[in-house]
């Protein structure tokens, strides 16, 4: 010990080890390095043979959750029997009528627009407006009557709308509508029927006072 209480440095005899020499011993030798590289190369070569499979996206992907209410299910022959060829093509085969040709494009009478396939009341006439797109347009649908599905057909990504009751194709919905919803339901005329307001009033039983 020295006078200040610090140990004097001792010399390291040949053949003894310190931290540096232990570290050197732990490092791989050039031979080990070569072996390591060979192992890495072998793994790399193996990886190049791997084939990555990408699962294709479905053309139609549901957005809204299915409801517990019973759906109307018919055979293809039954649908053909109750729909004319144009209605069948659009409702059951997801077709589209030519713009500005539908009977409801410039139709603004008071009443209710229904599903042509099953009669479900889809839209009230108070929500219909002239969008100029060539198809009937509505800014709001009746609650719990429409399902939405991601549609990737024709190289586009759109949102398809179908009748919740019978799965009939109606058209598409877009986020470019007017206030108060900002939504535009773009619907084929052939997908819909219409009940005038007068008939609705007559069909409802008169309430007793």
What value, to the nearest 5°, has the Cα angle with vertex 188 and ends 182 and 192? 100
Residue with tokens 């140990």: 7
CA distance 159 to 171: 9
Structure-block tokens of residue 91? 């409702």
| Residues paired with 163 in a beta bridge | 146
Is residue 189 within 8 Å of 108, Cβ to Cβ?
no
Find the catalytic residue in 118, 163, 166, 186.
186
Q: What's the sign of the alpha-carbon dihedral 158, 163, 169, 172?
A: negative
Is 133 a residue of the active site?
no
Active site residues: 186
């Amino acid at each position: 010990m020295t006078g200040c209480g610090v140990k004097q440095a001792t010399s390291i005899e040949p053949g003894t080890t310190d931290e540096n020499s232990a570290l050197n011993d732990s490092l791989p030798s050039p031979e080990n390095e070569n072996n390591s590289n060979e192992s890495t190369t072998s793994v790399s070569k193996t990886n190049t043979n791997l084939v990555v499979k990408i699962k294709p996206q479905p053309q139609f992907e549901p957005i809204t959750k299915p409801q517990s209410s019973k759906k109307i299910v018919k055979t293809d022959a039954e649908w053909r029997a109750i729909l004319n060829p144009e209605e069948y093509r659009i409702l059951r085969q997801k077709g589209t009528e030519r713009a500005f040709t539908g009977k409801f494009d410039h139709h603004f009478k008071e009443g209710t627009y229904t599903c042509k396939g099953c009669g479900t009341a889809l839209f009230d006439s108070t929500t219909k407006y002239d969008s100029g797109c060539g198809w009937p347009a509505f800014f709001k649908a009746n609650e719990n009557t429409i399902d939405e599905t991601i549609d990737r057909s024709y190289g586009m990504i759109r949102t398809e709308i179908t009748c919740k009751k019978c799965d009939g194709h109606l058209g598409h919905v877009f986020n470019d509508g007017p206030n108060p919803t900002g939504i535009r339901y773009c619907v084929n005329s052939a997908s819909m029927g219409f009940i005038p307001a007068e008939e609705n009033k007559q069909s409802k039983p008169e309430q007793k006072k």
